[in-house]
Amino acid sequence: VATVSRIDVLDKGFVALVDVMGNDRTPAKVARTSFNNNNQLRTEEQDAKLVRYLVEHKHTTPLEFCQVRFYFKAPIFVARQIMRHRTASINEVSYRYVEAKEEFYVPRSWRMVKKATDNKQGSSDEQVQFPEAAAYLVLKAGREAVAAYCELLDHGVAPEIARTVLPLGLYTEWEWCCDLHNTIHFLKLRLDKHAQWETRQYAEAMLQLLLPVFPNIIEASGLTNGD
Ligand SMILES: Cc1cc2nc3c(=O)[nH]c(=O)nc-3n(C[C@H](O)[C@H](O)[C@H](O)COP(=O)(O)OP(=O)(O)OC[C@H]3O[C@@H](n4cnc5c(N)ncnc54)[C@H](O)[C@@H]3O)c2cc1C
């Protein structure tokens, strides 16, 4: 993949910013269509001020004129969460065509923590009694699952059926394209502390990749100040 930049995430994953349409000033130029004067030259400061106004007053359509394209490599359970965001266009590797590799997520022992008590879905900071042993169990189960997968392939079973035994932690890869407005919406939801830690790492990497390209829009959206 020809990438602009990429950040490694988790033990074997990454996210790469592959392509961008528009820049930090595009929404301001688009918004001026309302006054039929979008070809007039404006200063960077004037554009920045207008973008802040647009974001503050939720005039978000001009932000949709910027598009971002990412390439992800992430565990399937992270992919499932990211793919819930319907406004993105996605194309994923198919384990009907391609044989899966022995690449699955093994959480570090510090992630072997108990269920959260203050919300129903998350995890707490309290480690289980034997975190190393718990992490080893993930590794062992993943290896056994991949071994069973390979054995099924050896028996001549088609990859689309053999993959049945593969774990949720297996890495998958996909292209992701979305307009900037909905990307910011995505980031707000997936950077939040209620989002799963593993998925948050991808959202954080996306934010870092987008910051140099859209510094003013991202700041105006409140993504850099924990809003
Ligand atoms: C912390 C967290 C926990 C979650 N837990 C669960 C869970 O337990 N189970 C589960 O199934 N999901 C869960 N989700 C997924 C969640 O319900 C949303 O599906 C997901 O966050 C996508 O959000 P979205 O619809 O706003 O984004 P997008 O799908 O990108 O849509 C962006 C916006 O476009 C509009 N839109 C898109 N499609 C439609 C439509 N068909 N009709 C009307 N408006 C539309 C809406 O305004 C929407 O906000 C969770 C999400 C988060 C962040």
For residue 227, pLDDT beyond 60 = no
What pLDDT score does 67 carry?
Answer: 98
For residue 89, which of 1, 178, 19, 206 has the smallest C-alpha distance?
Answer: 178
Q: pLDDT for 148-200, tens place per residue?
A: 999 999 999 999 999 999 999 999 999 999 999 999 999 999 999 999 999 99
Compute the distance from residue 85 Cα to the ligand 1 centre, in Å.
Answer: 6
Sign of CA dihedral 198, 202, 203, 208: positive
37 or 6, greater pLDDT: 6
Dihedral sign computed on CA atoms, order 218, 222, 226, 227: negative
**Distance, CA 80 to ligand 1 centroid (Å)?**
12
User: pLDDT (tens digit, 9 = 90+) per residue, 57-69?
Assistant: 999 999 999 999 9
Active-site amino acid positions? 190
pLDDT at residue 150, rounded to an integer: 97
Please report the atom of ligand 1 found closest to the CA of residue 86: 29
Q: Whose CA is nearest to atom 39 of ligand 1?
A: 86
pLDDT for the residue 226 = 57
* Residue, of 99 and 17, whose pLDDT is higher: 17
Tokens of 209: 């990749």
Q: Which residues line ligand 1 (CB under 6 A)?
A: 84-87, 182, 185, 189, 194-195
> Ligand 1 centre and the CA of 69: distance in Å?
20
